[in-house]
Amino acid sequence: MKRSQLLDFLRREADLPLPPMLAGMVLSGLCQGLLIALANTGAASAGDGLTMTRLALLIVYLLGLAAWVLSLRRSLKDCFTASEQALERVKTRLATRLLQADLRYIERESASGRFTPISQDTRLVADAVMQGLYGLQSLALFAASGLYMVWKDPITFGLIALVFALAVPQLMRHYQRATAETRLSAEREARFFALFGELVQGFKEVKLHRGRSEAIQAELQSRARSAHAPRHDINRRTVDDLQFSSGILYVLLAALVFVQPSLWPSRSDGIEQGLSIVLSLMGPLTAFATMLPMLARAEAAVGGLYALEAEIEAAVHGRAAEVDAPMAEGPVAADPARPAFEHLGLHGAAFHYTDAAGEVTFRSGPHTLEIRRGELVFIVGGNGAGKSTLLKLLTGLYPPMEGELRRDGQIVDAAARDDWRELFSIVFTDFHLFERLHGLDDVDPAEVRRWLQVMGLERKTGFENGRFTQTALSTGQRKRLAFIVAVLRNKPVCVLDEVAADQDPEFRRRFYRELLPELRTRGTTVIVVSHDDAYFDCADRIVRLQDGRIVADTA
């Protein structure tokens, strides 16, 4: 039998040792068995009144009860702590590794819904750990009741052992199949949710177009069906298992009540006791059979979380350029008196996109470009010329596949790329607006509100308790807010990708004629992607791109 990934997960990730937890649960199951046995014994002598034997029985019963309460409480509490601890560790590690991965990996995988199952998987593991412990307790209770039977009635015990021998291997076989099928179903479900996410994102477009809506609906249906198929098999087997494990006990009951007295009339006296024990076994065995599918899902979920971690790890280590150093904690301390750089440059730096077959679909570079401190540079060119890709290369989000980045003539290697990225604050065309100004805890709220006023947003959103009170704004307003965030970050270089697009003419004028020069005046190097040729005269320098190459660089 394969090792349990769930147990391995708790053993590796939690600080609390696993054996005492499991032992506690087994003990609680044994105590439960003891209580049933003692109650049975007590019932047999109920007519004797309060004899010394019955008093001793009661005391042992109460001790057993106390042991049951204590062992169950302790191991459940520990188990809860351990599973939350383990999950927290894995989630944190995933997030940390994800931050080290490069943008290409994230772009590719998020599009295919690779990260969708994480939240479901982690919840499932937390729930299943508890269920698993109860399952263990059920087994212990089963074993305890079995032991009691050996003592009271070896023949009935033999029958129960037979039930066990028949039921458990079958349940375990199904359990292992369910683990594999659950993984398959989760992968297919992720594909469903990827498309579902697209549907939500592109709802407006879909809503307006019946043909598209029908095609998406059909595709969603087919993906849902293919995710459902393995789960259907699992559910079918679960029903079979439940019926099998309960049904076999009913057969046992019949054997005990009807067949046994006919074969051994002398044994009819103990039937009631045997009956009550067999009935008490039904609960644990059914609980065990019900819990197995959930455990199987959790096994698959743990496998999925580790597989994702290994994949991110491989993406971090296996990319063309060397690995980035882990992110430094907090912003890199800079000497305020010393400028962060005099020149930032790309030297023969190139990057390309590939399709699923590995064919190059777009090549950016090789570029040789030096940006001087304090410059206001416009990057211009037609749609698809490669302006945004150049920015991603320049800001260190895409590692150069050829050539290098240089800071004041010094080559920026992978280990220094994190510091390099710290030089920039960026507003991309597909920016994400976070509610909070993460990493800007000491920002002066008055300064934020001043900027909201400068950008004409003071009546649209506010800044309270470190967060914007409203981020659901118009496209142009959201861009203005993103611009404010970039400015507040106060980095040496501010990169603005088509921020003036979607703005009204008056704001556009202020952006080019007042805001950009103001940024330059305060010492920020500004790189702007622009299609607004009416304002090209604002730039110190214009870099023109065509088909991924710099075709002109004019001052």
Ligand X SMILES: Nc1ncnc2c1ncn2[C@@H]1O[C@H](COP(=O)(O)OP(=O)(O)OP(=O)(O)O)[C@@H](O)[C@H]1O
Binding site for ligand X (CB under 6 A): 107, 353, 361-362, 381, 383-389, 429
191 alpha-carbon distance from chain centroid? 15
C-beta of 9 vs 105, nearer to ligand X: 105
| DSSP letter string, 499-530 | -STTS-HHHHHHIIIIIHHHHHHTT-EEEEE-
Question: Closest distance between ligand X and the C-beta of residue 364, in Å?
Answer: 7
Question: Closest distance between ligand X and the C-beta of residue 111, in Å?
Answer: 9
Return the beta strands (E) in 292-433 as ranges. Answer: 343-354, 360-372, 376-380, 402-407, 410-412, 424-427
Question: Closest distance between ligand X and the C-beta of residue 124, in Å?
Answer: 32
C-beta of 384 vs 409, nearer to ligand X: 384
C-beta of 64 vs 365, nearer to ligand X: 365
C-beta of 276 vs 388, nearer to ligand X: 388
| DSSP letter string, 203-234 | HHHHHT-HHHHHHHHHHHHHHHHHHHHHHHHH
C-beta of 541 vs 549, nearer to ligand X: 549
Distance CA 431, CA 104 (A): 16
C-beta of 93 vs 352, nearer to ligand X: 352
Residue 404: strand pairing partners: 347
Question: Closest distance between ligand X and the C-beta of residue 390, in Å?
Answer: 7
C-beta of 61 vs 353, nearer to ligand X: 353
| DSSP letter string, 37-90 | HHHHHHHHTGGG-S-HHHHHHHHHHHHHHHHHHHHHHHHHHHHHHHHHHHHHHH
Burial class of 482 by CB neighbour count within 10 A (0 to 12, 13 to 18, 19+)? buried
C-beta of 262 vs 361, nearer to ligand X: 361
C-beta of 361 vs 465, nearer to ligand X: 361
Query: Which own/partner contact pairs does 55-58 have at CB distance under 8 Å and 24+ positions apart?
Result: none
Round the CA-based radius of gyration of the chain to a whole number and report it: 34
364: Cβ contacts below 8 Å, ≥ 6 apart: 350, 351, 352, 386, 389, 390, 393, 548
C-beta of 104 vs 297, nearer to ligand X: 104
Question: Closest distance between ligand X and the C-beta of residue 353, in Å?
Answer: 4
C-beta of 124 vs 545, nearer to ligand X: 545
Distance CA 440, CA 548 (A): 35
- Reduced to 3 states (helix: H, G, I; strand: E, B; else coil), residue 406 is strand
For residue 231, which of 304, 277, 177, 158 has the smallest C-alpha distance?
A: 177
Question: Closest distance between ligand X and the C-beta of residue 497, in Å?
Answer: 7
Residue type at 128 in one-letter notation: A
Distance CA 256, CA 147 (A): 18
Question: Closest distance between ligand X and the C-beta of residue 387, in Å?
Answer: 4
Question: Closest distance between ligand X and the C-beta of residue 391, in Å?
Answer: 8
User: Residue 257 gets which letter from DSSP?
Assistant: I
Distance CA 468, CA 474 (A): 15
Question: Closest distance between ligand X and the C-beta of residue 383, in Å?
Answer: 4
Question: Closest distance between ligand X and the C-beta of residue 499, in Å?
Answer: 12
Question: Closest distance between ligand X and the C-beta of residue 107, in Å?
Answer: 5
C-beta of 305 vs 543, nearer to ligand X: 543
Question: Closest distance between ligand X and the C-beta of residue 361, in Å?
Answer: 6
| DSSP letter string, 294-326 | HHHHHHHHHHHHHHHHHHHHHHHHSSSS-PPPP
